[in-house]
Chains A and B, each alone.
With several copies, the nearest count.
Chain A
């Protein structure tokens, strides 16, 4: 009888607090979005599952010595997991389209206005009672506009660990929502004639260019922005392993087994930060709103820049390409392609959009470095 009472006293039923129930529903929602809607399932499934585990009453997953506690401290507090993901992404990324058309980097640059405008917006939100974002908080929130998961997690782990859960969830959710968020903005800022513009075919790119590219990027980062070298450096390492042709077995492992293993743990660790006391706050609402704003501003800035560049360019530039500058690889490039096809069924923009798309990855890593240098 005593044992029965003890067992009952240990059940979830006897220990649930309301916040945990809500967070479990949040976790279930993430799982639903990942599995049934296909929203960034590789990350949102482990994040959602981690959220559920972290909120089990009396199970101790996030207490010192618990599974998620170890995973978070080993992988995210040290910054190692997002950097390994970045290495793997580098090993998966083909910069050919960007090397063939370097101007696309300006689209990737202007789309970062989503980040910096949101930083300002987050500070402005402090005018609303209940919000008290520090500059570090605001920077971590703003990076959502970079539309790049590992960059957001890395920066949040450095500047605002308490907000990491909400920031990561917002970043991946909006990346999945790119096909819904971007098209209206793209259409509002362009005329059908502009959307029909056909781009010139990309020039061939030599292997040598592809090998030197990551080294050149790293070199510039070393010279001008060492704070960005962890992110950019690991990304370039991955890309160098991919392109050099001498270490294919390392490159394959980096972009397959290693990134898969790290993804599982990264997701669980992010999910472990989704506790009621940290997520069920007014800040989270602010973060979600600001994240949506950041994506929208980034998209609009990219499109406007593409229009501007088109005016001065010798070769025509389809302004839709600017939307791909937010990164969200390869989703944003696909959205550009789709919206372009709606206007001109023979105009395939996918390859051209990959240029600004990968430029956006570099752009947000650079922006993260700037924020680290100024605020960190």
Chain B
């Protein structure tokens, strides 16, 4: 394959590739439009930080411990 032939092939791939990428992702755009119609609508925040399980656990532990501690402290105080 001489260089001009190779360049022609490369140009061919370039054209074909960009067309395919656009067609493919274009179909995905259509699919997403359909998807929104079918499955969209639920109102939840689109993006954002979801609290992870470990955070929740820690907070629950912390809260429980503090509740107990403050309660105890209050009792101690009232006994003063």
Asked if B27 and A220 sit within 8 Å, CB to CB, the answer is yes
How many contacting A-B pairs (Cβ < 8 A)? 146
How many Å lie between the Cα of A360 and that of B79 in the bound state? 56
What does DSSP make chain A's interface, helix, strand, loop or mixed?
A: helix
A138: Cβ under 8 A from any B Cβ: yes
Asked if A3 and B12 sit within 8 Å, CB to CB, the answer is yes
Taking CB as reference atom, which chain A residue is nearest B6? A123
Q: Please pick, from A106, A206, A217, A367, the residue contacting B17 in the complex, using a CB distance under 8 A.
A: A367
The stretch among A20-28, A49-57, A66-74, A114-122 that forms the contact with chain B is: A114-122
**Contact code string B9-47 (vs A, CB < 8 Å = 1, else 0):** 111111011101111111111011101100111111111
Point out the residues of chain B lying under 8 angstroms from A3, CB to CB.
12-13, 16
Asked if B46 and A359 sit within 8 Å, CB to CB, the answer is no
Taking CB as reference atom, which chain A residue is nearest B29? A102
Asked if A105 and B17 sit within 8 Å, CB to CB, the answer is no
Asked if A115 and B40 sit within 8 Å, CB to CB, the answer is no
Asked if A115 and B25 sit within 8 Å, CB to CB, the answer is no
Asked if A359 and B47 sit within 8 Å, CB to CB, the answer is no
B3: Cβ under 8 A from any A Cβ: yes
Asked if B40 and A119 sit within 8 Å, CB to CB, the answer is no
Which A40-89 residues sit within 8 Å CB-CB of chain B?
A: none
How many Å lie between the Cα of A312 and that of B20 in the bound state? 22
Point out the residues of chain A lying under 8 angstroms from B14, CB to CB.
116-117, 119-120
Which A194-211 residues sit within 8 Å CB-CB of chain B?
A: 202-209
A354: Cβ under 8 A from any B Cβ: yes
Tell me the smallest distance from the CB of B36 to a CB of chain A, in Å: 7
Asked if B29 and A100 sit within 8 Å, CB to CB, the answer is no
Asked if A105 and B47 sit within 8 Å, CB to CB, the answer is no
A2, A7, A105, A139: residue with the most chain B Cβ atoms closer than 10 Å: A105
How many Å lie between the Cα of A225 and that of B26 in the bound state? 14
Asked if B21 and A370 sit within 8 Å, CB to CB, the answer is yes
Which A102-133 residues sit within 8 Å CB-CB of chain B?
A: 102-103, 105-106, 108-110, 112-113, 115-117, 119-120, 122-124, 126-127
Asked if B13 and A119 sit within 8 Å, CB to CB, the answer is yes
B7: Cβ under 8 A from any A Cβ: yes
B77: Cβ under 8 A from any A Cβ: no
Contact of A209 with B35 at beta-carbon distance under 8 Å, contacts A105-B26, A120-B14, A359-B25 already known:
yes
How many Å lie between the Cα of A140 and that of B16 in the bound state? 17
Point out the residues of chain B lying under 8 angstroms from A212, CB to CB.
35, 39
Tell me the smallest distance from the CB of B77 to a CB of chain A, in Å: 38
Asked if B21 and A135 sit within 8 Å, CB to CB, the answer is no
Point out the residues of chain A lying under 8 angstroms from B41, CB to CB.
206
How many Å lie between the Cα of A169 and that of B80 in the bound state? 63
Asked if A113 and B18 sit within 8 Å, CB to CB, the answer is yes
How many Å lie between the Cα of A124 and that of B3 in the bound state? 8
How many Å lie between the Cα of A3 and that of B10 in the bound state? 11
Q: List 20 A-B contacts (CB under 8 A).
A: A98-B32, A102-B28, A105-B32, A109-B24, A116-B13, A119-B17, A120-B7, A120-B10, A123-B3, A123-B10, A126-B6, A203-B46, A204-B43, A204-B44, A204-B46, A207-B44, A220-B28, A363-B25, A370-B17, A374-B13
Q: Which residues of B contact A (CB under 8 A)?
A: 3, 6-7, 9-14, 16-18, 20-29, 31-33, 35-36, 39-47, 53
